Structure formats: structure tokens, C-alpha cells
Amino acid sequence: MPELHEQSLGWLRYLHRKATTPDSWDRDGRPHEHWDNRTGAPMLSWHRFDLVDSSYALALMCDVTPAWREVYSKILDELCARHTGWWAASDWLTQFGHDPDRESYPDAYRPLIPEKHWSHYDVPGWTANGIEPYGVQMDPIAADGMLFFKGFFGLLLGIQRYVSGDDKWNEPFEMIRDGEHRFSWTYSGIAAHLAGQWHNRRIGCHCENTKIWPYSLSAAGLGLRLHDQLHGTQHHSAFDAWWEHARENYMSWQGDKPIGFDLYYDPVIDEHHGHGPGGLALPAWYLAPQRREVAQAGWELSAMLSGALGDGPIAGLDDPLNAVALLQLAGEFGDDSIRERVWDAAEEFLEPSWDRSSGEFTLGFGLGEPHPRGQLNARAMAARACSAGAWARIFNQPNLSKFDEPTVVGVDFPAVALSEARWNPSRGELRVRAVATNESRGAGLTQFRVTNVASAAGWTLRSDATEAIQLGSTAGDVLVEIPADGRAWTINGG
């Protein structure tokens, strides 16, 4: 039976503390320093990408323990709430017109800018709110651009709904909230608006004015795909229409094999920038559930260049961004042996760290920073929670029956976590494993309840080494008490 890795549970404890530590993302506040606005500069070095990246492992972990979701749901609510704040869109709300510093960019930015436009072109990451022909548009959802805000937010909202079953974010909520600007949206409203914009702009919506990124559009399409699965809409048809355009205009092929993809396309200057094999690997994580054959080509390219499929050294793992990208793709596309080979090789550079007193696990990446780097940790831990095809299944064969099945609540987290929690409908039994934070907590007894049952009467508990024990009930739920020692237990329905 599938079970969560101990590192996944350790990171879950850390992420829970991180997400539930109070801070303010309003304009007159400040996100806590543990939220990452440093990784992937200048494009991804914004706090919101830490929020979105942190959700991926939670969705994957939920599919391993579908009968235990309460902690994941709490964290996801915290992530979504922060994404409505001013700081989540601070780039769009402060970067007006062209970048005044574009004549003095560092040479490190040269690969990101078309050579003939160097010194008079905005670097990726500068949103350029207000340039012609769009004018200033303060609502980052309604705006013609800012795809990398609303597209990723839609994906985050979809994961929250997929994990929790709670449609609370389809009640109107306010965004930005800086006094002068307040915008009301719902999850489904964002999805419908984005799909409408996209249908009217088949070349693709832009992120920064005026760059169209296949990477961001692939993530946005994944969000629409999940909304369709959860709410029966047809919004993903906007991605499908764009894809036909992208195949002909943004990709290169060798026969029926994709060999290159634009990094971005700027329709104003008609520039396809960064076209090549690197652009093919970049969106592979997001394309895996939507265009598997192209994502597979991206994985094979990454594996070939790194040496992941051979038996020699694996190259590029000393670069944290390369390392986590390879780990993610190995998780989704590789078998167990390939996945563990990449993890073993990467460990030297990941700097795995345990706080045994709290049971928290994080990765330092040799950066020597006071807080674990959020985006890098989130992507790596998504890889740790992923098995072959698991990420694609969330969007194509989502487990929606979990909302109607017996569910565990009231676990004494973070002192105790469940590494296994799954209902087997054919056997009428719930299988669970409880794991204590650390040895000092010990393997003493821990209590929780099983809810969402037709009747709390007649339920029994057993392990492989015990006789069945009759369980009690409380307020219509089944009351369970087991040792937090990692042993497997089955709870049978009455």
C-alpha cells in the first residue's frame, strides 16, 4: 500500500508552521521572511510563487492519504488567503511603464533579452503595467496581462478545492484591499474570465506586457483542466485552441518528435526568444497531465543531458533550480530505481536537515540562509511525494470519491501524523498508520475520529498481530485509539 515518506511528513510539519505563522500581505504589512521572494530572479522572485509551489506536494500527499486531509486543507486555505493580498501582486501594482533601469541591466540578464533589443527592452519579470495599448489596469485578474498571476492562482484554488472538498472560495472574496483598490472574485469567476480572455487571444495571454510564456500558459491550462474536473465546465478548450497555435508557431519538430519550444514570444516586436530544447524541458511538469508526449520529450531531454538514465555521475545537480526540476520530472516519469538514483545523487547538494525536536524536515541547498528557501523546498518535496504518473492522475483521474468515504479527523498534529490513510470500499475497511513526531514523543496512544460514516456502531480495529477490538463512538463518529508507532491498522465498518 502507498505510504508517505518520512521526509514528506517532516516537511508537512514545517509547512504547517510556516503557513500558520501570522503575517500580513496587505500593502501596509509585510510577508514573513520565510516566504521566498529570491528564487528565480528576475521572473519568479515574487512571494506568490512560494504559495503556489507549496500546493503541489499537498495535492500529491492527499492522493496517498485521501482519508486524512484536514492538515493539507488548513495549509491550502492559508496559501489561498495570502494570494489575495497586495503583496501577492506587488510587481503589477508598482512596476508602471517601462523599466527605468533597463539601460543598466547586469550581463546576467542577456540570455533573457533579444540581443538586438538589449538596453531598450524590459527584462522578463518587469510587468510594465500601463504601457500602450493597454493602459493602467490595477486588477491583476481582469487585466489583459498578468497571466502568471491569475493562471497560477487558478491552479492553487483548484488544488485547494480538490483536497478539501470545500467550495468556500466560490463565495466572493476581495483582493488587493489597499484602500483605493478592492476587487471581488470567486474561484469559478477567475476560471471563466481567464478562459474567455484566452479564447479571444488564441496566441496566448501575456504575463508581463507583452511576453507570452508557454511555461505559464501550461500552468494556467492545468488550472482550467482541474476546474473542469471539479465543476463540469469546458474551460480547458481555451488551452486546446492555443495548443494548436503553439504547435505551429512556438515549437519545432523532427518528424513527430518535439525538439524545441519558445521561452517566450513577444507579438509586439514579433520575437520568438529562447527557442530551443531548454524551452521544451521548462514546462514539462505542467504539460505532463495535458500533453504527455511533449512532456515526456522534455523529461527525456533533461535525463539525457544530465545523465540520469545511465549509471554514471548526474550533472547539473549543484544548481538548485536544475536539481529540483530534474527531481520533479524523475518523480513523474521515472520508475522507482531512477527516482531514487536521482535523489541519492542530489542529496549532496540538497543539504537535508532534520529538527528532531519538532519533527520538521527541510532542505538547505547550501545557501546558509536563516529560512529554508521556499520555492526550492516546495518543488523538491513535490518530487518526494510523486510516483510515476501521480501528478497527471490528479487532473485526469481525480479521486473525488474520497469526499463520500469515511474520513479521519482530529489527529493530534503535528505531534502525530498519518503516513497512511485510505478507505478500501470493496473490503469496507480503513487502513491507517500513525507516526509520532520523534522518539521523545514516543509511540504512546493517540486518538482520532472517523467521520462521514452511515453509522458509528459495529466498527472494529485490528492489526496483523491483534484480535479485532470493538470501537466506541462519539457524536456520531467512530472513536479510534492506536499507538503512534508506524504500525498498520485496519478499521472495519459495521
C-alpha span between 307 and 290 (Å, rounded): 26
Instruction: Give per-10-residue mean pLDDT for the chain (494 aa).
Output: 93 98 97 98 97 98 98 98 98 98 97 97 98 95 98 98 98 95 97 98 97 98 98 98 98 95 97 94 98 97 95 96 98 96 97 96 98 98 98 98 98 97 96 87 85 96 86 95 95 86
Q: Please tell me the predicted confidence (pLDDT) of residue 179.
A: 87
The string of pLDDT tens digits covering residues 425-444 is 999 999 999 999 876 666 68
- Position 19, amino acid: A
CA dihedral defined by 293, 296, 302, 307, rounded to 10 degrees? -130
- Backbone phi and psi for residue 472, each to the nearest 5 degrees, phi listed first: -90, -175
- Tally of CA atoms within 13 A in the half-sphere of 281 that contains its CB: 21
Q: Please tell me the predicted confidence (pLDDT) of residue 12.
A: 98
C-alpha span between 253 and 167 (Å, rounded): 42
At 85, is the secondary structure helix, strand, or coil?
strand
At 273, is the secondary structure helix, strand, or coil?
strand
Phi and psi based region of residue 117 (left: phi greater than 0; alpha: psi -120 to 50; beta: remaining): alpha
- Position 474, amino acid: T
The string of pLDDT tens digits covering residues 169-204 is 999 999 999 989 999 999 999 999 999 999 999 999
Angle, CA 428 vertex, CA 461 and CA 68 arms, to 5°: 70
Residue appearing with cell numbers 521556499: 374
CB 375 within 8 A of CB 36: yes
At 342, is the secondary structure helix, strand, or coil?
helix
Q: Please tell me the predicted confidence (pLDDT) of residue 438.
A: 76
Q: Please tell me the predicted confidence (pLDDT) of residue 203.
A: 98
- Backbone phi and psi for residue 276, each to the nearest 5 degrees, phi listed first: 160, -170
Q: Please tell me the predicted confidence (pLDDT) of residue 1.
A: 66
Q: Please tell me the predicted confidence (pLDDT) of residue 442.
A: 60
Q: Which residues contact 81 (CB under 8 A, 6 or more apart)?
A: none
Residue appearing with cell numbers 529538527: 355
